[in-house]
Amino acid sequence: MKKELIKVQQGLHLTEQEMMAASEAMFDERTNNETIKTFLIALKEKGETADEIVGLVKVVRKHAMQINSPLQNVMDNCGTGGDGSQSFNISTCSAFVIAGANVPIAKHGNRSISSKTGSADVLEHLGVRLDFTAEEVSNLLKKNNIAFLFAPHVHPGIRKVMAARKELGVPTIFNLIGPLTNPVELDTQLVGIYRRDMLHTMAEALVRLGRRKGVVISGAGHMDEASLEGENHLAVVEDGQIHSVILKPEDVGLTAVSNEKIRGGGPLDNARILKSVLSGEASVYRDTVLLNAGIALFAHGSASSIAEGIEAAKESIDSQSALNRLNDLVHYSNQKELAQ
């Protein structure tokens, strides 16, 4: 990757093909950690482009678990994390609401990085296994509309690069691409990102990766989720085009609330919050999930507007369809446990 490294150090952008070559080198055992770290820092200082993001994503997915989904309209609602908000597991809770609205969702996630509790932490506490095989993921999507893909499990080849990232200890391009590396072939997607300066770049990446429709969102307070606190900045992708939207909670009939009100805690606390929302309990947590699930259903195209998506999200919760999706995923995990 010497040629690509020199180019980046000169402040020049890489083409998608050049980034793919550099990414393959990062996966190569012969490439030392110092070279990888130097390359990642040079990229960070230069500023990452859509070409570079797409090139890296394609290589990461090439080395990931290969999953053949039986469905054509699968989505994900994973965010980049890193916003430091300490919020409860909004996207994880929203995923069950999305599934309960009859939209198949391959929920990609990890353990906590910048928060107290990551999606894997809370789901594991609830009894969901983190080691589903490719066949089990396909079966769950078909039968239950939701499967959880634990990032370290479905991306075993990335361990070498993770060592270099850990040594660096600062955010790099890998902190941007997580939501885009889902091994399932996605049709649509909701991506949350706290870095508002990368909003349009991430939307360009969605277009380049073939998403039919999608939304990239940077929430009020620079959360990587939609927030009730104020203005949410959205980049909406549809048919290869990108347009910007600013959405406030009042625009869709919700009340503005400070982000302080949606703080979470450890796995036990966040599991309690998640189950309270899916059980229909009225709260600021529920309203936050309704907003995020509503945007996701709009991003998927199953709702023609965010307001319509919120109504579908309410029905998913109030009919207990969302809760059933969680219970069935836990039951499937228990059966897997018993079979071993």
Q: What is the pLDDT of residues 71-128, one digit of tens each?
A: 889 999 999 998 889 899 999 999 999 999 999 999 999 997 766 789 999 999 999 9
* Domain, as residue range, for 118: 75-154+184-331
Query: Is 118 contained in some domain?
Result: yes
Query: Is 230 contained in some domain?
Result: yes
CB 218 within 8 A of CB 202: no
Annotated binding site for anthranilate, which residues?
A: 79, 110, 165
Q: What is the CB neighbour count within 10 angstroms for residue 133? A: 12
CB 211 within 8 A of CB 81: no
Query: Is 50 contained in some domain?
Result: no
CA distance 201 to 235: 10
| Of 205, 164, 156, 204, nearest in space to 183 by CA | 156
| % of the chain with per-residue pLDDT over 70 | 98
Query: Is 147 contained in some domain?
Result: yes
Query: Is 218 contained in some domain?
Result: yes
Annotated binding site for 5-phospho-alpha-D-ribose 1-diphosphate, which residues?
A: 79, 82-83, 87, 89-92, 107-115, 119
Which pLDDT does position 10 carry in this prediction?
A: 97
| Of 23, 297, 53, nearest in space to 179 by CA | 53
Annotated binding site for Mg(2+), which residues?
A: 91, 224-225
Which pLDDT does position 173 carry in this prediction?
A: 96
Residue 221 sits in a domain of what CATH number? 3.40.1030.10
Annotated binding site, which residues?
A: 79, 82-83, 87, 89-92, 107-115, 119, 165, 224-225
Q: How confident is the model at residue 340 (pLDDT cuts 50, 70, 90)?
A: low
Query: Is 111 contained in some domain?
Result: yes
Query: Is 62 contained in some domain?
Result: no
Query: Is 107 contained in some domain?
Result: yes
Torsion angle (degrees, nearest 10) of CA 182, 183, 188, 192: 0
CA distance 100 to 97: 5
- Angle (nearest 5°) at CA 306 between 303 and 309: 45
* Number of domains present in the structure of the chain: 1
